[in-house]
């Protein structure tokens, strides 16, 4: 499609957009009395209007039923989490038995590493990407320290080549082959939080397995953003937060995936708790742990229902729409944003370097942009004028045009605000 940098053209694209109606399903903050242009769904998604009804339902059941809400609420709390299995499985490309919701992201990654990082004297190394999200880096360091290894020896980072911004697939595969028989675990962010690069998870997973390693994924920036086929890719495990593209609210519950090939492995260690115990016998208060078959067997504590209610509201919306429709709009909307950035750069004789890969298979809806010749002042101007975006040192702004609530007209209007900010 040939794009145009005009409000009329953007409005025409919106009129043809099947998902445009969902924009009205969200609550937008306002700046200067106007709805913001919201580019930070890769950090915290907007609140869906339907969320309140889901939360109010739990509050009403608590008020009217108290403890009996566990079994007699409209959505009984006893099995509330089970409502996620099928729709969330579709979102991440998994069987319903392979997914569950519990805890928060880094907590779940630590718990999953109890099962899947089992170092030996000869096979103990972990491969991750350079500039992984800090929480992952701290997790790796504490895990290898716990097992008695030195971080500088056990943690192997795949480096970005000098003068480049993204990690090459060939370098990932070469590093896996190089570490070889010493490799215990490959654990990478499926989408890099800084650049927005999407990794070839299918190919990397196969290479890790060929080397005799376990392969897991941190999908914080992937779930609800890109097409995932975790079961078919044969990933061993994965976890993700729900408050970015999944719009479940700040710091909310995490989801996790454990491939069905591990469900019946009685030798696989895990940290156990009563909510992972055989559901039919849970209230018999037995002393010997008998895990639920499937991902639910990794649950530990009672599920936080008030946290899950907003998550379920969003999952139900995703189930209505389907990831294919979301991805179709994502690609078109992100391409239009890229076009607008290029057009404004020409008009103001400036230089914006998009460090997110241009290949559609290597990016989701995030564009990370180096503002050459500009600085924090431009970011502040955008924020003051209703463009809510994200600054990362040394000079990068991350834009995430989320297809559920961003419009093509937003992209045009952003371009005009950006132009004014540069010329101010």
Domain end position, chosen among 281, 298, 321: 321
Instruction: Please report the pLDDT score of residue 76 as a whole number.
Output: 97
Q: Are 79 and 197 in the same domain?
A: yes
167 is a domain residue: yes
Distance CA 19, CA 329 (A): 8
For the ranges 126-135, 237-246, 398-407, which has the lowest average pLDDT?
Answer: 126-135
Instruction: Look at residues 363, 334, 308 and name the one whose alpha carbon lies nearest to residue 87.
Output: 308
Q: Mean pLDDT over all residues of the chain?
A: 96
Report the pLDDT value the prediction gives residue 424, as an integer from 0 to 100.
83
Q: Average pLDDT, stretch 16-41?
A: 97
Average pLDDT over residues 329-339: 98
Q: Residue 51 has what pLDDT?
A: 98
Instruction: Identify the three-state secondary structure at position 167.
Output: coil
Indicate if the pLDDT at residue 373 is higher than 80: no
How far apart, in whole angstroms, are the C-alpha atoms of residue 214 and residue 126?
Answer: 10
Q: Are residues 301 and 336 in the same domain?
A: no
Average pLDDT over residues 127-154: 95
Same domain as 382, residue 285: no
Cα–Cα distances (Å) from 361 to 48, 226, 341, 369, 418, in that order, read 28, 9, 21, 19, 28
pLDDT value of residue 380: 95
What confidence score (pLDDT) does residue 393 get? 85
| Residue 142 is assigned to a structural domain of this protein | yes
Q: In this structure, what CATH number is given to the domain that contains residue 369?
A: 3.90.1150.10
Res 132: pLDDT? 87
What is the layout of strands, in order, in the sheet containing 390-392?
A: 351-354, 367-372, 396-399, 390-392
Q: Are residues 130 and 259 in the same domain?
A: yes
pLDDT above 90 for 224: yes
Task: Say which CATH number the domain at 136 has.
Answer: 3.40.640.10
Residue 278 has pLDDT above 80, yes or no: yes
Question: Using 50, 70 and 90 to split pLDDT, how confident is the model at 317?
Answer: very high
pLDDT for residue 91 is more than 80: yes
Last residue of a domain, one of 321, 355, 370: 321
pLDDT score at 350: 82
Query: Domain limits at 285?
Result: 53-321
In this predicted model, what pLDDT tens digit does every residue of 1-26 receive, in sequence order?
899 999 999 999 999 999 999 999 99
Report d(CA 88, CA 86) in Å as an integer: 6
Whether residues 287 and 362 share a domain: the answer is: no
- pLDDT band, very low/low/confident/very high, at 68 (cuts 50, 70, 90): very high
**CB burial of residue 268 (10 Å; 0-12, 13-18, 19+):** middle
Q: By C-alpha distance, which of 277, 319, 273, 315 is closest to 294?
A: 277
pTM: 0.96
Give the H or E element holding residue 399.
strand 396-399
Beta carbons within 10 angstroms of residue 278's beta carbon: 14
Measured distance CA(23)–CA(42) in Å, rounded: 17
Structurally, the chain folds into a number of domains equal to: 2
* b (16+ CB within 10 A) / e for 396-421: bbbbbbbbbbbbbbbbbbbbebbbeb
Asked if 255 and 377 sit in the same domain, the reply is: no
| Pair (245, 356) in one structural domain | no
Q: How far is Cα 248 from Cα 312, in angstroms, rounded to an integer?
A: 8
N- to C-terminal Cα separation, the chain:
32
Could you please report the per-residue DSSP string of 202-256? HHHHHHHHHTT-EEEEE-TTTTTTS---HHHHT-SEEEEESSSTT---TT--EEE
Tell me 395's DSSP state.
T
Host H or E run for residue 418: helix 408-423
At 66, the pLDDT band (50, 70, 90 cuts) reads very high
Region of residue 207 (phi > 0: left; psi between -120 and 50: alpha; otherwise: beta):
alpha
The predicted structure's pLDDT at residue 143:
97
Q: Looking at the domain assignment, is residue 1 inside a domain? A: no
Strands in 264-357 per DSSP E: 351-354
Q: What is the pLDDT of residues 143-181, one digit of tens each?
A: 999 999 999 999 999 999 999 999 999 999 999 999 999
Query: Domain for residue 2, yes or no?
Result: no
On whether both 19 and 151 belong to a single domain, the answer is: no
Domain finish residue from 321, 343, 367: 321
Q: Residue 266: which pLDDT band, with cuts at 50, 70 and 90? A: confident
């Amino acid at each position: 499609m040939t794009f145009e940098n005009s409000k009329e053209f953007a409005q025409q694209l919106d009129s043809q957009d099947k998902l445009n109606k969902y924009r009205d399903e969200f609550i937008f903050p306002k700046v200067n009395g106007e709805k913001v242009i919201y580019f930070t769904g890769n950090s915290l998604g907007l609140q869906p209007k339907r969320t309140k009804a889901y939360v109010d339902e739990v509050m009403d059941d608590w008020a009217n039923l108290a403890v009996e809400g566990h079994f007699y609420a409209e959505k009984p709390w006893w099995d509330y989490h089970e409502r996620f299995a099928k729709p969330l499985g579709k979102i991440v490309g998994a069987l319903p038995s392979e997914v569950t919701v519990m805890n928060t992201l880094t907590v779940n990654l630590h718990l999953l590493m109890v099962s899947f990082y089992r170092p030996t004297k000869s096979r103990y190394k972990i491969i991750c990407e350079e500039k992984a999200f800090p929480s992952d880096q701290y997790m790796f360091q504490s895990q290898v320290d716990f097992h008695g290894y030195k971080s500088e020896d056990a943690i192997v980072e795949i480096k970005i080549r000098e003068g480049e911004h993204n990690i090459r697939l060939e370098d990932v595969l070469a590093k896996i082959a190089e570490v070889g028989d010493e490799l215990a675990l490959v654990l990478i962010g499926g989408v890099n939080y800084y650049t927005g690069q999407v990794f070839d998870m299918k190919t990397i997973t196969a290479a890790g397995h060929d080397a005799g390693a376990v392969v897991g994924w941190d999908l914080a920036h992937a779930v609800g953003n890109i097409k995932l086929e975790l079961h078919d890719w044969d990933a061993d495990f994965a976890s993700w937060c729900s408050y970015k593209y999944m719009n479940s609210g700040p710091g909310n519950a995490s989801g996790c995936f454990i491939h069905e090939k591990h469900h019946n492995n009685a030798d696989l260690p895990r940290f156990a708790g009563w909510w992972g115990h055989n559901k039919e016998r849970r209230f018999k208060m037995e002393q010997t742990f008998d895990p639920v078959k499937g991902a639910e067997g990794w649950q530990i504590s009672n599920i936080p229902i008030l946290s899950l209610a907003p998550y379920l509201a969003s999952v139900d919306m995703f189930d209505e729409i389907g990831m294919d429709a979301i991805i179709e709009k994502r690609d078109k909307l992100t391409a239009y944003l890229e076009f607008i950035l290029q057009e404004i750069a020409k008009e103001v004789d400036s230089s914006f370097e998009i460090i997110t890969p241009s290949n559609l298979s290597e990016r989701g809806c995030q564009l990370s942009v180096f503002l050459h010749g500009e600085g924090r002042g431009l970011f502040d101007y955008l924020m003051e004028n209703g463009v809510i975006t994200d600054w990362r040192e040394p000079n990068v702004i991350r834009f995430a045009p989320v297809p559920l609530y961003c419009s093509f007209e937003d992209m045009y209007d952003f371009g005009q605000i950006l132009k004014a900010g540069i010329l101010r």
